[in-house]
Amino acid sequence: MPLAISVAEAIPDEIDAIAFGVFADLVVPSARSIDAKIAASQGFTGGAGETMLASEQSGRLLIAVGLGSAGGDFELENLRRMGAAVAAAGNKCGSIAIDLTGLEVEGADGAGIARAVGEGVGLAAYRFDRFKSDAKRNHLHTVVLVSTSEGATAGADQAAVVVEVVSLCRDLVNTPAGDLSPSAFADVAIGVAANTGLGIEIYEKEQIVAAGLGGLLGVAAGSSEPPRFVRLSYEPDGVVDPVTVVLVGKGITFDSGGLSIKPANSMMTMKDDMSGAAAVLATMAGCGRLGVKTRVLGFMPLTENMPGGSATRPGDVLKIRNGKTIEVLNTDAEGRLVLADALSLAVEEAPDAIIDLATLTGACVAALGKDIAGLLGNDDALISAVEEASERASEALWPLPIPSGYHDHIDSDVADMKNIGAAGQAGALSAALLLQEFVGEVPWVHLDIAGPAFSDKNRGYIRKGGTGFGVRTLLALLDTYEPFGGKIHGKAKGVKVF
């Protein structure tokens, strides 16, 4: 059951717990009283992430959450973390009221404050227990944000949508590949489209062949599960001649590596190789309910990458939708092959911008770790806009270059290009160089989310397993999207092109 997030001007009588923020040195913005002796006994000083439990005379639980120092460094992300701390401390409660009275963040209104706290508590309360026979259901079902701000209700409503769609993304990523084949993923997309008013087209194998999607077919060749290609469309109400943004998500529902098979340990989490497609579907699901004013298309190439008897062999050449050819020297570098087809189709829509998300390279994880995604592209304005949106969403991105002088990394002796770069060098960059061959002059950004799409531990509102990374950044971008232009022909900001 989805977590109910609402707003009230006062704390309801029928509530199991009350939570409130406390700044360092026990400064309480809501003016609620705090017992200094209890604080001292629990080592509570108001430091960021600390919690203190007490109770009213009635027995109702009180949860004080440390906010850290007040001042210029206090931002909306601090409130998301506050919400996460409330969810952790009150996880045995059915209902919690969170007192937002007196909380202020520079540049944020009441809606933004309510949304941030609601996102934090809702995302932290997420559980995936579909396959547990003795699932311990999450007790928390109701969160009431106490605020007199005029915009708080709108913020709470937005938070509820964000939590729901990020949870959808997490559910898809966490579902075992045996239960989420390409056709099963497409069925989920059909249900989402029906519930949210999205347009949808599903290409089955015959249509994929007719469309000339050679990369998708080549990757799918070794699997007994037929591929799918999903095209979603969102048309904003009341907007005349809207700009169009195409979102493209890599959808490898399981990646064995194909004939270039992965070691066993490397396959253990490869159900997550469709995280990009899951993020696109989840983002599209939120567009209408959040009032996005941009026309948005979502392209999801879906297949398994398996080592069957008909699998693509190292040395084979695949022809992509736009006519370019790729020599496959490593079948485990398959994501760029299916994305090449999807990006080619995206260009045919003549969009204002294309953004793709993919768990694409281990090289990006080696460079940036598990918490930061790579940000690459061909347009300074679009790169900056995506980076700014990620900062608002607190989903960490780091800009990487696409140096034209590295193009020889993907030059092939027998085809237009090869699907791997120079051994041990710039793997994330050579992958982006290949993708760039399929976007033409359209402003484009590539997000390599191989690191942060899946977490091996719980941390605040990030839960172990699929994280839903990218959904909040895309929604933040689309919320304020304006047309961009000025392709920079391979030059990333501040990066010398050799």
Measured over all CA atoms, what is the biggest interatomic distance in the chain, rounded to whole angstroms? 79
Q: How far apart are CA 326 and CA 418, in angstroms?
A: 5
Q: Is 336 a catalytic residue?
A: yes
Q: How far apart are CA 54 and CA 63, in angstroms?
A: 7
For residue 201, what are the contacts with CB-CB under 8 A and spacing of at least 6? Answer: 230, 231
Of the candidates 334, 341, 330, 258, which has an alpha carbon nearest to the alpha carbon of residue 301? Answer: 341
Contact (CB, 8 A) for 373 and 467: no
Q: Is 262 a catalytic residue?
A: yes
Please tell me which residue in 32, 60, 205, 262 is annotated as part of the active site: 262
Instruction: Give per-residue burial for 353-383: e unless 16+ CB within 10 Å, then b.
Output: bbbbbbbbbebbbebbeeebbbbbbbbbbbb
Six-digit token string for 7: 């707003």
Of the candidates 192, 344, 181, which has an alpha carbon nearest to the alpha carbon of residue 252? Answer: 181
145 forms beta bridges with: 7, 98
Q: How far apart are CA 302 and CA 106, in angstroms?
A: 43
Six-digit token string for 409: 């990394």
CB atoms within 10 A of CB 100: 27
Q: How far apart are CA 402 and CA 495, in angstroms?
A: 9
Q: Could you give the dihedral angle defined by the CA atoms of residues 465, 253, 251 and 199, in that order, rounded to the nearest 10 degrees?
A: -100
Contact (CB, 8 A) for 374 and 351: no
308: left (phi over 0), alpha (psi -120 to 50) or beta: beta
Contact (CB, 8 A) for 487 and 441: yes
Of the candidates 297, 281, 302, 291, which has an alpha carbon nearest to the alpha carbon of residue 468? Answer: 281
For residue 97, what are the contacts with CB-CB under 8 A and spacing of at least 6? Answer: 8, 11, 12, 15, 17, 18, 19, 143, 144, 145, 146
Instruction: Give per-residue burial for 185-217: e unless 16+ CB within 10 Å, then b.
Output: bbebbeebbeebebebebbebeebeebbbbbbb
Q: How far is CA 184 from CA 118, 164, 190, 202, 219, in A?
A: 31, 20, 10, 12, 18
Please tell me which residue in 231, 295, 336, 418 is annotated as part of the active site: 336
Q: 3-state SS string over 398-428?
A: EECCCCHHHHHHHCCCCCCEECCCCCCCCHH
Q: How far apart are CA 425 and CA 461, in angstroms?
A: 34
Point out the residues that are catalytic. 262, 336
